[in-house]
Structure 1
Amino acid sequence: MSHGKLREEKDCLNCGHIVEEHYCPHCGQQNIERRQPFHYLFTHFVEDFTHYDGQFWGTLKNLFFKPGKLTNTYLEGKRQKFVPPVKLYIFVSFITFFLFAVFPPYEMSSKHDKSRLEQIQKAQQKAVPILEKELEVIKTKNEHTKKDSLKIEKINKEIKEIVSDKKLTDKLNLDTRLDKSLNFNGYSTRKSFDSAKAKNPSSWDFINVPFAHKLFELKENGVTKREILKKLGEVSFHNLPKALFIYLPVFAFFLWIFHNQRKWWYFDHGIFTLHYFSFLLLTILIFSMLYKLTTVLNNTVNIFIYLLMNVLLFYSMIYFFIAHYKVYRTHGVISFIIGSILFMFNFFAFMFLVAGLGVVSFLMIH
């Protein structure tokens, strides 16, 4: 680990005590010069979060390959060997969402894709009349040979496939305006909706009214479907860290409910949750980066990457059960049953949170 330049004086700048070596025995402050080279800011930041003396890499290794060990070690009181849970979660969150900002996990259709789509649609529009004309020429013959019959069958099949493909490309082309006939609960304008709500209010108006107003606003402004999806993805992404942070105590609360409150404190469940969520964030990050690689590598390598992604997905699903069993030390069958119930509860609770996040994200589109 690199340090700042040490002071020649032996008095601590923070508390005034005598410092025999690097750190003050009274307050723990490092006895370094008040002014350091500019690069010290970055090295100090890295050291503070990752502890490059081995603590960080040892923490990551145990987090991934020894589910539950970090939690058990911390709860046993051995807290210097690994990165503390809160610091680990903050650092993992920072790295994950920083890389997501640089390499977004979602990608809307690019201009190149849109241009290619338009070319395909134009080619389809030209192909049908040509085939129909060719079909007419064959049909005008007085007598049809077997070859003509096969040709007619082939042309009809090609026309059918082109029409089917055109419908598909029309669906893929998201760069269309919101349909003027689009309505919300049968109301096509904000005025008619507000008038109806004034006469017949509902207990769900706190959600319906702002959602409908935003929909009518986007419709009136001529916003495209592609723009809405892109903005929705961007806003949802920026709200995701908040959603995960909000859900941390909820996850720990479910653990607290299903385990002996005398034996396990809420604090203990919080430590387990921080470690588990750190693992999930890193898994999501690795999964996304692997997916990014598939867009630039050849098919042969991609087969291996997709296999690795499936293994990672499966491991992330069983990780909770392994960690839960090793931390709470319940009987194998009981641990699996409790783990399954907790998994189900948290799945539906988090989906509810994601749905709420989606609504908030939609309302924040501008």
Structure 2
Amino acid sequence: MSHGKLREEKDCLNCGHTVEEKYCPNCGQQNIQTRQPFHYLFTHFVEDFTHYDGQFWGTLKNLLFKPGKLTTTYLEGKRQIFVPPVKLYIFVSFITFFLFALFPPFNINFEGKGSSKLLPQKSKITELQKAITDARAKEKLEYKDSLYINKLNAVLQDSAKLNEIEGTFDMNKSLDDDIKVSGYNNKKSFDSAAAKNPSSFDFINIPFAHKYFELKEKGIKKGDILKKLFETSFHNLPKALFIYLPIFALFLWIFHNKKKWWYFDHGIFTLHYFAFLLLNILIFSFLNKLTDFTDIGFINGLIRFIMLVFMIYSAVYFFIAHRRVYHSHGVVSLIIGFILFSINLTAFLFLVVGLGMISFLMIH
């Protein structure tokens, strides 16, 4: 694959410096023709990233199978061997979410569910009611008949409760009055109560209540709301990960020697680790998709075993990378790694919850 046809002229179009060979010795720009075929846009993008000199593929291999190697090499000053960390993260992030947009990792479909489950339950309630009516129709009720009726009534109540629970989770139903917000089932009564008894959490409660009542008035099905919630959250995930990058690096900075390790160093570690997580998610999703195309139990079992290995490896990866980059004692590294892992997991869960809340407000 070529980077483009070279110019016959020896002056650099970027800085005017004399170009003896392929690249300008002053600014590094390639001395190629300014006009290229349309396909050059795509071929140049791929070639520029992979370089076909082993840099890109070597970066991926070390990222996946040698935890901490990229960070250590970069911090040692060897920065031409592998793809720069920022460029790597952006590229892996772009590829991951671009492929997810084309081939969603999950299919959410509630069509045909819920109502089919309720039919047998409703039929059972009708039969119980008929049995109670028939039992009471006897001219003379004996003690055993009373026990029988009481037993039927108990079963009837349990069945009605079960039916109510199933109705709540029926994704083909719209929002109804069974679900209330702070004890109110409409916007007017909620606003009236909120005005009389203001709360310090009104900045959260009021927008969510208004959104709920808005969706309720539109008659949107529960399944559609849940589906849109998943889709919106997924589209916001890249932003959430990008926002969390400096937070992750900050936790690393707090738990390590400030003189030996700068915040910049932790940022490099974070970029490599997040690039690995995205790549691992992409591979995991690809393997999961493979199970949709085969019904052979042995192959599916093998794929799921590989997926399990990837899950375990993802958890262990952080500890190995942390040990190799920061060169701390094994036990100390393990303790610090466990604390960091726990704190970041908790903090990221809070971020995911916040993401879900924002995604709910964005549903329309």
TM-score when normalising by structure 1: 0.85
1:103-252 correspondence to structure 2 within 5 Å = 103-109=103-109, 111=111, 114=112, 173-252=170-249
Give, in angstroms, the shift of residue 55 of structure 1. Answer: 0.6
Match of 2:149 in 1: none
Match of 2:29 in 1: 29
Match of 1:278 in 2: 275
Question: Per the alignment, do residues 195 and 125 of structure 1 end up closer, same or farther by CA in structure 2, a change over 3 Å counting?
Answer: closer
Deviations 1:126-156 (A, max 9, x none): 89999xxxxxxxxxxxxxxxxxxxxxxxxxx
Question: Per the alignment, do residues 231 and 333 of structure 1 end up closer, same or farther by CA in structure 2, a change over 3 Å counting?
Answer: same
Task: Return 5+ residue gaps in structure 2 as ranges.
Answer: 128-158
Give, in angstroms, the shift of residue 118 of structure 1. Answer: 6.2
Which shows bigger deviation, 218-227 or 293-302? 293-302
Whole-angstrom distance in 1 between the partners of 2:71 and 2:47: 22
Question: Per the alignment, do residues 184 and 118 of structure 1 end up closer, same or farther by CA in structure 2, a change over 3 Å counting?
Answer: closer
Whole-angstrom distance in 2 between the partners of 1:360 and 1:52: 42
Secondary structure of the residue that 1:20 maps to in structure 2?
coil
Q: 2:63, 2:70 within 8 Å by CA — same for their partners in 1?
A: yes
- Counterpart residue type for residue 253 of structure 2: W
Match of 2:348 in 1: 350
Match of 2:325 in 1: 327
Match of 2:313 among 312, 315, 319: 315
Whole-angstrom distance in 1 between the partners of 2:259 and 2:101: 43
1:268-307 correspondence to structure 2 within 5 Å = 268-298=265-295, 299-307=297-305
Whole-angstrom distance in 2 between the partners of 1:172 and 1:210: 24
Whole-angstrom distance in 1 between the partners of 2:199 and 2:303: 51
Give, in angstroms, the shift of residue 340 of structure 1. Answer: 0.4
Whole-angstrom distance in 2 between the partners of 1:293 and 1:171: 34
Paired residues in the alignment total: 334
Deviations 1:250-274 (A, max 9, x none): 0000000000000000000000000
Secondary structure of the residue that 2:34 maps to in structure 1?
coil
Give, in angstroms, the shift of residue 284 of structure 1. Answer: 0.9
Question: Per the alignment, do residues 173 and 296 of structure 1 end up closer, same or farther by CA in structure 2, a change over 3 Å counting?
Answer: farther
Give, in angstroms, the shift of residue 119 of structure 1. Answer: 6.5
Whole-angstrom distance in 1 between the partners of 2:224 and 2:280: 29
Question: Per the alignment, do residues 120 and 211 of structure 1 end up closer, same or farther by CA in structure 2, a change over 3 Å counting?
Answer: closer
Q: Residue 69 in 1 paired to residue 69 in 2?
A: yes
Give, in angstroms, the shift of residue 121 of structure 1. Answer: 6.5
Q: 2:110, 2:171 within 8 Å by CA — same for their partners in 1?
A: no
Give, in angstroms, the shift of residue 190 of structure 1. Answer: 0.8
Q: 1:106, 1:233 within 8 Å by CA — same for their partners in 2?
A: no
- Counterpart residue type for residue 76 of structure 1: E
Alpha-carbon RMSD across the aligned residues, in angstroms, is 2.6
Match of 1:43 in 2: 43
Whole-angstrom distance in 2 between the partners of 1:179 and 1:72: 57
TM-score when normalising by structure 2: 0.86
Deviations 1:286-314 (A, max 9, x none): 11111111122112211111111110000
- Counterpart residue type for residue 63 of structure 2: L
Q: 1:11, 1:17 within 8 Å by CA — same for their partners in 2?
A: yes
Which shows bigger deviation, 179-188 or 30-39? 179-188
- Counterpart residue type for residue 65 of structure 2: F
- Counterpart residue type for residue 335 of structure 1: S
Give, in angstroms, the shift of residue 173 of structure 1. Answer: 4.4
Match of 2:361 in 1: 363
Match of 1:261 among 244, 258, 264: 258
